[in-house]
Amino acid sequence: MGINQAIYVASEAVLALQSKFREKTAQVGVMGMGYVGLPLALLFARRGFRATGFDIDSAKVEKLQRGESYISHIPGSTIAEQLAQKHFRATCDFAALREMDALLICVPTPLDYHREPDLSFVRDTVEAITPHLRRGQLVVLESTTYPGTTEEVVLPILERSGLRCSVLPYATDGCTLQAEECGETDFLLAFSPEREDPGNKQFQTHQIPKVIGGVNASSALAAQALYGQAFERTLLVSSTRAAEMTKILENTYRCVNIALVNELKLLCLRMGIDIWEVIEAAKTKPFGFTPFYPGPGLGGHCIPIDPFYLTWKAREYEFPTRFIELAGEINSAMPEHVVAAVAEVLNQRKQCMQDAKILVLGVAYKKDIDDLRESPSLRIIELLQARGARVGYHDPYFPRLHKMRKYDLGLVAVEPTAQALEGFDAVVIATDHSSYDYPFIVRHARLVVDTRNATRDVREHREKIVRC
């Protein structure tokens, strides 16, 4: 029997929930108002749902309630508009979780100091939900994690509430489902990986297909009914594990290919070949090649972290992921390469790193965003300081560097004026923000170490430029 007929006969509660999603009378709660959670909550608000953003950071909540934004690519006017229409609100009061029909978890999943998964944010959030969990609610984990997390970590915590959710197999062709049994379930549980790309103007949140996997057919269909109201396309997979692995594959693919071009860059430097020219030539092939670009290291919450979630889980199955681990080693070593290149070029000018004045331009992990997570620039600054350099930095999005999870640099931004640039022994372009005037920088700097090929169009004073 097709699953659509079976599920509706077996579970009137699921049918009722789907109806609320279609009619947009459901309340949607989003846990975590960061780079993933806030855009998602606002998307549901714009689609006509009543969306509530939950966060433990009272400062964030107060800003949101005033219609202010703390993420550069989300204007405050968007928040204020949804507040005025009463489609969005933010709160620290987790008692309101019981009012929600759907709870979407968008919290960080970092690595700990031993490069092993740190699921403390996920666990804490799920434990906060459990006392307020009620029958008929849909819970969806969006945080990137290793395959098995939803079933092995999230589900047991939620079931401490006394409510149950059966794990039952089903099959799917991506749109429809088939299942031999539907089972009785008190609440619904699914995994749908976030696919945000901060700063990407080509694809907005709703345009990126939403992959969905449920612990059972009822959960998968309910999640599809919800996300189908906000996203242009939904894609069902056969389990939460398959959905979790999908996101890990996406980011591991990028990690491995970036490692490849980073290694080729190092080889090309020795061979006197311009890797950027080579990539531009190779990408003219209309099939069989996807361009990836080298840089000073990997940043952001996904690519530097997610592959290590998979390698950690693979050890449970006694499976060595040597290819992935090698890619991680190459990418992690790129900041050391940048610092070594700076030391070498200073040495060629008969100057040592000790007491050299170095200006690092850009601390965001990629251009034109206000995101510091896992930024290689921070590691570069730390390594330069360890070698005795006197380091300054500038980034249009960060006037000062506050204490972070891994870094406490305590620096205040230096404006890259002509006089300031002339006062540094070397300028390192670590993030190629569009707002920088690269001809101006090259003209006034004594030496420019370019890790991003940002100076490719600068024609004058090219003798000052070292690309690494």
CA-CA distance, 12 to 352, in Å (whole number)?
Answer: 74
Q: Per-residue pLDDT averaged across 373-400, rounded?
A: 96
- Mean pLDDT of all residues in the chain? 93
| Pairing of the two strands 448-450 and 426-429 | parallel
Whether the pLDDT of residue 251 is over 50: the answer is yes
pLDDT for the residue numbered 11: 66
How does pLDDT run across 120-162, given as a tens digit for each residue?
A: 999 999 999 999 999 999 999 999 999 999 999 999 999 999 9
| Pairing of the two strands 234-236 and 357-361 | unpaired
pTM comes to 0.90
Q: Per-residue pLDDT averaged across 169-184, rounded?
A: 80
Whether the pLDDT of residue 14 is over 60: the answer is yes
How does pLDDT run across 320-339, given as a tens digit for each residue?
A: 999 999 999 999 999 999 99
The pair of three-digit structure tokens given for residue 128, joined into one six-digit string:
């906060």
pLDDT for the residue numbered 370: 92
Within 13 A of 255's CA, how many CA atoms are on the CB side? 28
Examine the domain organization and report whether 138 and 209 are in the same domain. yes
Within 13 A of 10's CA, how many CA atoms are on the CB side? 17
Q: Per-residue pLDDT averaged across 27-48, rounded?
A: 96
Examine the domain organization and report whether 348 and 251 are in the same domain. no
CA-CA distance, 75 to 71, in Å (whole number)?
Answer: 8
Single residue among 301, 332, 363 that ends a domain in this structure: 332
Examine the domain organization and report whether 299 and 446 are in the same domain. no
Whether the pLDDT of residue 7 is over 50: the answer is no
- 8 A C-beta contact, residue 248 and residue 306: yes
Examine the domain organization and report whether 210 and 355 are in the same domain. no
Q: Per-residue pLDDT averaged across 392-396, rounded?
A: 98
Q: Per-residue pLDDT averaged across 364-388, rounded?
A: 95
User: DSSP letter string over 20-59?
Assistant: HHHHT-SEEEEE--STTHHHHHHHHHHTT-EEEEE-S-HH
Whether the pLDDT of residue 4 is over 50: the answer is no
Single residue among 305, 332, 359 that ends a domain in this structure: 332
Angle, helices 12-23 vs 217-227, to 10°: value is 10
Examine the domain organization and report whether 378 and 292 are in the same domain. no
The pair of three-digit structure tokens given for residue 428, joined into one six-digit string:
């390192």
Whether the pLDDT of residue 199 is over 90: the answer is no
Single residue among 238, 261, 280 that ends a domain in this structure: 238
For the chain, what is the domain count? 3
pLDDT for the residue numbered 111: 86
Tokens 């703390």: give the residue. Answer: 70
Examine the domain organization and report whether 228 and 257 are in the same domain. no
pLDDT for the residue numbered 422: 97
Amino acid identity of residue 367, one-letter, is K
Per the annotation, the verdict on 255 as an active-site residue is no
Examine the domain organization and report whether 50 and 163 are in the same domain. yes
- 8 A C-beta contact, residue 165 and residue 185: yes
pLDDT for the residue numbered 180: 67
Lowest-confidence range among 5-14, 52-61, 412-421? 5-14
Q: Which CATH number do you get for residue 304?
A: 3.40.50.720
The pair of three-digit structure tokens given for residue 157, joined into one six-digit string:
């915590």
Q: Where would I find the beta strands (DSSP E) of 195-321?
A: 210-214, 234-236
Active-site residue, from 106, 165, 255, 302: 302
C-alpha separations of 342 from 8, 50, 420 in Å = 65, 53, 19
Examine the domain organization and report whether 215 and 73 are in the same domain. yes
Name the β-bridge partners of 105.
31, 141
CA-CA distance, 281 to 167, in Å (whole number)?
Answer: 50
- 8 A C-beta contact, residue 300 and residue 365: yes
Whether the pLDDT of residue 2 is over 70: the answer is no
Examine the domain organization and report whether 247 and 118 are in the same domain. no
The pair of three-digit structure tokens given for residue 126, joined into one six-digit string:
């799920």
CA-CA distance, 455 to 193, in Å (whole number)?
Answer: 36
pLDDT for the residue numbered 181: 64
Per-residue pLDDT band at 230 (split at 50, 70, 90) = very high
Whether the pLDDT of residue 401 is over 80: the answer is yes
Of 54, 67, 5, nearest in space to 27 by CA: 54
CA-CA distance, 96 to 143, in Å (whole number)?
Answer: 21
Q: Per-residue pLDDT averaged across 172-180, rounded?
A: 83
pLDDT for the residue numbered 283: 96
> What is the domain extent for residue 193?
3-238
pLDDT for the residue numbered 9: 44
pLDDT for the residue numbered 6: 44
Examine the domain organization and report whether 48 and 179 are in the same domain. yes
Per the model's pLDDT, the better-predicted residue between 45 and 198 turns out to be 45
How does pLDDT run across 343-368, given as a tens digit for each residue?
A: 999 999 999 999 999 999 999 999 99
Q: Per-residue pLDDT averaged across 238-260, rounded?
A: 96
Report the alpha-carbon angle 341-344-349, nearest 5.
130
pLDDT for the residue numbered 92: 97
- 8 A C-beta contact, residue 321 and residue 245: no
Examine the domain organization and report whether 230 and 100 are in the same domain. yes
pLDDT for the residue numbered 5: 43
Examine the domain organization and report whether 322 and 455 are in the same domain. no
